[in-house]
Structure 1
Amino acid sequence: MLPFFQLYSNLILQTLFSLSLTLVLTFLKIPVFFLQGLHTYIHPDNVAGHHGGPASSSSGVRAAIRRPSDSGSGLDGYQSLSSRTNTELKKKNKSKDKFEFDENNAQIFRLKLDEGHLQTRLFYNDYHNSFVFSFVGISCLLLYKYLGYKQDSGVLANGDLIPIIFGFIGLIKAFSSLAKISFEKSGSKRSEKQFSAIFGVLGFILGIIICSGIGPLVFDFHFDSIEGSWRIFVSILMGFIAGSLYMPAGKNARSFWLGTDQLRCNLSIISCGWFSRLILYANYILTVFTALLWINPFVEILSFVSFSKSEFTRFRLLCLLLSGVLQIVSLRSNLQMFLNEAVLSWYQRLHASKVPDLDFSRAKVFLHNHYLCLAVVQFFAPSVSLLLFLGLSQIDTNSFDKYNLVKEVAVFMAWWIVFIWAVITSASLVFYRRGILT
């Protein structure tokens, strides 16, 4: 019995580890815990009492942002933030242009996300399943790397099947969630769906160019060993990934734009703190730098650095790994910026004219709450897919004749995710700066 455990120790460890980790993630509700502590916002239609009096503090809702004129309304303990001072408000009241405006209806309330909020949101199950299977797949790949590879031991003895199976399941869950979100009728604008389709077609065409032999003139990838049918499959996969990443990368650019205060609105509640801002900058710079590492003109520039071929290969893989990790680290900051955009809309509509029009901001606050988990999946799925592709490329097995080809394609797909992410994010930031996007 002991020789059996010694021979199949890797397989047994992989199996027990994957099953126990799945149970722990599910029963301890780690996907919910990962998002707890973030703040969301509500914009009530009428915060006054039933008889026109001030809102009761016994309702459990805490006001995060209030107009200065409501500071004495009897709601103790509320944080008062406003874009106008009391002096400015007095000058406004002395103005000849008088109008009736209910200050109570201009309030916005901040709530801390908890388990009840998250589990009732649309697409929560998609986020939960993507998180669990992706986390288990990445963990199994890390355990495989730690246990090492036994020569001439076979697939079962090495436990190769467990990380491969969970790795592919994690990829399928992540991309199926992205595809489901992309086809959601009310989850995105019609123009966003059209641009996603355009990027999908462009990605497929570029895939044909890269796989056909023309690509190595620009991209440092060589697919000479790939047969014609596999090249079509790789091109279709590239098109699918490019189309699926358009909306997530666009949201990432918007979060970066708001989090680093490119609007210069000087509202501390909208922009990030210094540490989160540092993470956003580092993530963007590393993503662009990593995307350039497989483009021949940039590779020629780096060739002057004393890198050997093996060292340069490891350096590329390390940059891919760091890029995926930074995307996960910046996920909470990006999601908070997505939610804070509702505050920006409230602020703009409140001061856009003499008579504030808050209908648009009410709708925006509702939609940002309603599609909270949709945004989580869009920020989460690309980063874990990058890490899963990278992990699958590191499995050393000679048991499958075609697996060396799969490893080569896996590295390429990890880079392709980074490349598309960098292109769409950079283009969106340029459009924001020039006022093409608002």
Structure 2
Amino acid sequence: MFSTIPRILYTNNLLLHTAFAISLSLLLPLIKIPLLFLHGHHTYIHPDDVNPGGGAASAGGVRAAIRRPSAADSDNPKPRKKSKEKFEFDESKAQIFRLKLSEGHLQSRIYFKEFYSFINSSLIALSSLLLHRFLQKDDERSVGVLENGAIIPLLLGLVSLFRTLFLIIKVGFERSASKKLEKQLSFVFGVLGFFLGLCVVVGVFPNWILEFRFDSYDVLTRICVAVFMGCIVGYLYIPSLRNARAFWVGTDQIRCNLSIISSGLLSKTVVYAAFVAPVFVSLLWISPFSELLVAGDDRKFGLVGSRLDFYAFRDRCLLVAALLQLLAARPNVQTFLNEAVLCWYQRLHGGRVPELDYSRAKVFLHNHYLCLVAVQFVAPPVVVVLLLALSQLEDRFGEGVRGVFPYSVLARDVTVFVSWWIVFVSAVFSSATVGFYRRGSMYVS
């Protein structure tokens, strides 16, 4: 009797995966994890006038910036004498207020619904893939996509992956979320990324430089991979700029010493680790660097003992780098909101006459595009985690579809390569941007 229990659980894997996915889809809206991610952030309000109607210089708190000339002035214009009166700054129009975000505030932000549904769908897909990873792990009889229930996590993972990629593209096309020059540069880098991808898939780079090989794929598959590589470069340019900017401001590299935007030691440590980890991980597929980490016959010392152990170590490092970026997303979002305070401070003390219109617009835009920027911080590492999770289906899922679709061949190579390419592109753009900040070619304003 007891011996039949594992078999019953095994034959009901499909029902178990289905029930698990349905339960999560009903439970996650009650927990509201996306709201917990954004809840508690501090945003800022920069009003036009704190005390409207209280000034003697204007009636009703409104003062005309340009006065229409009268008829007498237009007929006989007289030269105006330079006023010798001292400029009196109205402090009530320069105040900024700190506000803690709540659920009602977040629901009014643009792209909140997209961010909310994207996080929930990703959690459902990753949980289902994790369940399939550990469910009946030692059972060697799991053959068939319906029998072992692998079709459920596969479909959920693919739907969540394509949904996340579509959201990245949709956010990238938002007109006023970034500068026109940044959009033009993202297009240029996307084209250059396509040609670089062609060089990679054709085999221009020898094996002693890059370990990925695409010799076994047909021409159409290579072109599709190259196009996808170019799209990744183009659409990750602006999110990488935001990551570098958040690192530069969040770790106080500009030495502004403003207590209102300073981060704690734990947040700075996570941001530093999330910035350094992709740089290290991107080098693990570069052969001259990877050879130094593997102990061989001619080298007694190495980080890992064999080549197979090194392959598993690289996959884990990719996962750790993506998880660190997810952990750093919350302090990065707060840093994005704090940039508005830094702009307000710069405009307030940058000259004799404060230029507050620009800082007021900056505060509004950073408050308005909060959820859009959260998508740009969270979506790329989520894509990496989903791809790595899908690549683990190869051993168990490939047997059930062999002869129908070469998933067992494509899963390991393409998904891991795309995951590495996302981390590599983000590391290159972020490092280059921080370098420009360090040299003074770019600055935060």
TM range (shorter): 0.7 to 0.9
Partners of 2:86 and 2:257 in 1: how far apart?
29
Secondary structure of the residue that 2:147 maps to in structure 1? helix
Give per-residue Cα distances to partners, 1:217-256, cap 9 Å, x unaligned. 4211112221111111111111111111111110000000
What's the offset of the Cα at 1:190?
Answer: 0.9
The answer to whether the aligner puts 1:413 opposite 2:418 as a matched pair is yes
1:229 and 2:233 correspond:
no
Counterpart selection for 1:206 from 196, 204, 207: 196
Contact 1:245 1:421 in 2 (8 A): yes
CA distance in 2, matches of 1:360, 1:107: 14
Q: Which residue of 2 aligns with 1:8?
A: 11
Answer yes or no: is 1:403 the counterpart of 2:407: yes
Residue number among 125, 128, 131 corresponding to 1:140 in the alignment: 128
What residue is the counterpart of 1:21 in the other structure? 24
Find the structure with the greater CA-based Rg. Answer: 2
1:157 corresponds in structure 2 to: 147
Question: Aligned equivalents of 2:121 and 2:387: distance in 1?
Answer: 14
Q: Which residue of 2 aligns with 1:129?
A: 117
From 116, 134, 141, the counterpart of 2:104: 116
Does the CA-based 8 Å contact 2:294-2:310 persist in structure 1?
Answer: no
Task: Report the AA paired with residue 161 of structure 1.
Answer: I
- SS of the residue corresponding to residue 101 of structure 1 reads coil
Counterparts in 2 of 1:284-299, with a 5 A limit? 284-299=275-290
* In 2, Cα distance between equivalents of 1:50 and 1:173: 50
Query: 8 Å contact 2:294–2:307 — kept in the other structure?
Result: no
Instruction: For residue 252 of structure 2, give the secondary structure of its aligned residue in structure 1.
Output: coil
From 343, 350, 361, give the equivalent of 1:363. Answer: 361
Residue equivalent to 1:345: 343
- Residues in 2 aligned to 1:97 and 1:28: alpha-carbon distance in whole angstroms: 61
3-state SS of the aligned residue for 1:110?
Answer: strand
1:380 maps to a residue whose letter is V
1:103 Cα shift? 0.5
Moved more, 111-120 or 147-156: 147-156
TM-score (norm 1): 0.87
The superposition leaves residues 239-276 of structure 1 with CA deviations (integer Å, 9 ceiling, x where unpaired) of 11111111111000000000111101111222321110
Q: How many residues are aligned here?
A: 396
- Deviation by residue 1:62-92 (Cα, 9 ceiling, x = unmatched): xxxxxxxxxxxxxxxxxxxxxxxxxxxxxxx
Alpha-carbon deviations, 1:317-339, whole Å to 9, x = none? 11011011111111111000000
Query: What's the CA shift string for 1:382-422, capped at 9, x where partnerless?
Result: 01001000000001222223112331100111111100010
Q: Give 5+ residue unaligned stretches, structure 1.
A: 54-95
Deviations 1:166-198 (A, max 9, x none): 111111111111111111111111111111112
RMSD value, Cα: 1.9
Structure 1 residues 274-283 or 218-227, which shifts more? Answer: 218-227
Match of 2:209 in 1: 218
> Which residue is equivalent to 2:260?
269
Instruction: Work out the CA distance in 2 between the residues paired with 1:350 and 1:128.
Output: 36
Amino acid at match of 1:424: F
Q: By how many angstroms is 1:152 displaced? A: 4.6
| Corresponding position of 1:168 | 158
* Equivalent AA in structure 1 for residue 278 of structure 2: T
* Deviation sequence 1:349-403 (CA, Å, 0-9, x none): 0000112111110000000011111101000100100100000000122222311
Contact 2:208/2:288 (CA < 8 Å) preserved in 1?
Answer: no
- 1:39–1:111 contact (8 Å) kept in structure 2: yes
**Cα shift readout 1:100-139 (whole Å, capped 9, x = no counterpart):** 1111111111111111111111111221121111111111
User: Identity rate of aligned residues, in percent?
Assistant: 50
Q: Partners in 1 of 2:356 and 2:409 — Cα distance?
A: 56
2: CA distance between counterparts of 1:257 and 1:223? 38
Query: Displacement, 1:28?
Result: 3.3
Contact in 2 for aligned 1:18/1:140 (Cα 8 Å)? yes
Correspondence for 2:233 among 218, 242, 252: 242
Deviation at 1:201, TM superposition (A): 1.2
Give the distance between the partners of 1:9 and 1:289, measured in 2 at CA. Answer: 43
1:335 equivalent in alignment to 2:317: no
